[in-house]
Amino acid sequence: MKLLWQLFITFARIGVLTFGGGLTMLPMLKYELVEKHKWITEEELLNYYSVGQCTPGIIAVNTATFVGYKKKGVFGGIVATLGMVMPSLIIILLVASVLSAFIDNAYVGHALSGIRAAACALMVNTVVTLVRKNVVDIFCIVVFLVALAISLLLDVPSVAIVFVAGILGVVVSVIKRRRAAK
Amino acid sequence: MIYLKLALEFFKIGLFALGGGPATIPFLSELSGKYGWYTQQELTNMIAVSESTPGPIGLNMATYVGYSTAGILGGIVATMSLVLPSIIIITIIAKFLASFSDNKIVKAVFYGVRPAVAAMIGTAVIGIVRTSIFMAGDGSFTVHIPLLILFAVIFALLQIKKLKKIHPFFWFVAAAAVGIIFKL
């Protein structure tokens, strides 16, 4: 019981102290899980992290489920995840209800216009970073451009694009390996 | 039954959004078109708030979108539905596959998925930029020149290495101030 509570509180604290998610929370996870509680080793953390990145869902949540499961089974995974989720729920619900009360105020409107322009700049920057990191060879460039064209011009669900791209990834990897074997 | 719809849609996002928080953006943008629960402009506000408040962006956005669609319970339903697939999938993987991320098939799948996800996020962002900077109140095409300048200046500043580590919140505060001063 004490361990469950610790899992919950630790991940809630990580949630409160993380801005952004993804890679930005790695130092925080390392401090809390490896150094402070010694629940996992640094190597395990990196393993969980890379699994969290290549499974669907929010990376922070996936890591929380992983660590919770390792310490206390299925229930531990659920409790750690709930701990991770709690700060977002509370903080966003508070901010959202306050913001919606002031949304018709002229100053808030001007501020939000500026904020939207900044949000756009940050998002475009994220996309540029993602492309630099993940579009690494000719196959990737082709997939990127075709997926971009399809999603811009046609009304194809994102799920279908992810699915087909995954299959193509396997096919091309197999062909590559065969060629390398020859 | 709006809660059931929210639960189903966010469960689906949790199941298919590969690549963490930003990967949920194309799905959220699709939802706005499909149900009209919120506009692209509102979605951009929600993304900005999610980036500047504590907690993983993906969770923050789910809570916010759920809240703006169906109130507090909506926020809770959306967030819980988003994490449910993670809990199931990770528990299974933790049980059976010790070296999931080193698995050749997993690597091959991601080799194809990553560039596609980058493209889809790109498309969603293009849509958001269009509604935020290139659209008049009635939906017709226009160019908000002051907003375009602000956008370009911030984007340019983000390319400077030393400024990259600045927290998004700082940019939003600065941009909000510019917005109020110049009545954007």
Tell me the average pLDDT across B1-8. 94
Q: Given a cut of 90, is residue A41 above it in pLDDT?
A: no
Read off the pLDDT band of B106 (50, 70, 90): confident
Residue B3 vs residues A86, B6, B66, B128: alpha-carbon distances, Å:
19, 5, 9, 26
pLDDT value of position A178? 92
- Distance from the B139 Cα atom to the nearest Cα atom in chain A, whole angstroms: 16
Q: What is the pLDDT of residues B25-39, one digit of tens each?
A: 889 988 888 898 998
Contacts with B169 from chain A: Cβ below 8 Å: 19
Q: What pTM did the predictor assign? A: 0.78
CA dihedral B165, B170, B171, B177 (to 10 degrees): -160
Distance of CA A36 to the CA centre of its chain: 24
Q: Percentage of chain B surpassing pLDDT 70? A: 96
pLDDT value of position B131? 81
Task: Give the chain A residue whose CA is nearest to the CA of B74.
Answer: A93
pLDDT value of position B152? 94
Contacts with A120 from chain B: Cβ below 8 Å: 44, 125, 128-129, 132-133, 151
Residue B122 vs residues A27, A131, A147, B34, B106: alpha-carbon distances, Å:
28, 9, 10, 19, 24
Q: Given a cut of 90, is residue A51 above it in pLDDT?
A: no
Q: What is the pLDDT of residues B66-98, one digit of tens each?
A: 999 999 999 999 999 999 999 999 998 887 766
pLDDT value of position B93? 85
Question: Between B91, B108, B147, which is nearest A65 by CB?
Answer: B91
0.95 surpassed by complex ipTM: no
Find out whether B87 and A77 touch, Cβ atoms under 8 Å.
Answer: yes
E strands of chain B, at which residues?
Answer: 55-56
Read off the pLDDT band of B19 (50, 70, 90): confident
Find out whether A88 and B59 touch, Cβ atoms under 8 Å.
Answer: yes
How much is the CA Rg of chain B, to the nearest whole Å? 18
Interface of B with A in 28-57 (CB under 8 A): 30, 41, 44-45, 47-57
Q: Given a cut of 80, is residue A47 above it in pLDDT?
A: no
Q: How many CA atoms lie within 13 A of A160 on its CB side?
A: 6
Q: Which tokens belong to A157?
A: 């669900």
**What whole-number distance in Å separates Cα of residue B88 and Cα of residue A56?**
11
Read off the pLDDT band of A141 (50, 70, 90): very high
* pLDDT, averaged across chain B: 87
Q: Given a cut of 80, is residue B169 above it in pLDDT?
A: no
Find out whether B90 and A62 touch, Cβ atoms under 8 Å.
Answer: yes
Q: Percentage of chain A surpassing pLDDT 70? A: 96
Tell me the average pLDDT across B106-129. 85
Q: Given a cut of 80, is residue B171 above it in pLDDT?
A: yes
- Distance from the A13 Cα atom to the nearest Cα atom in chain B, whole angstroms: 10
pLDDT value of position A22? 59
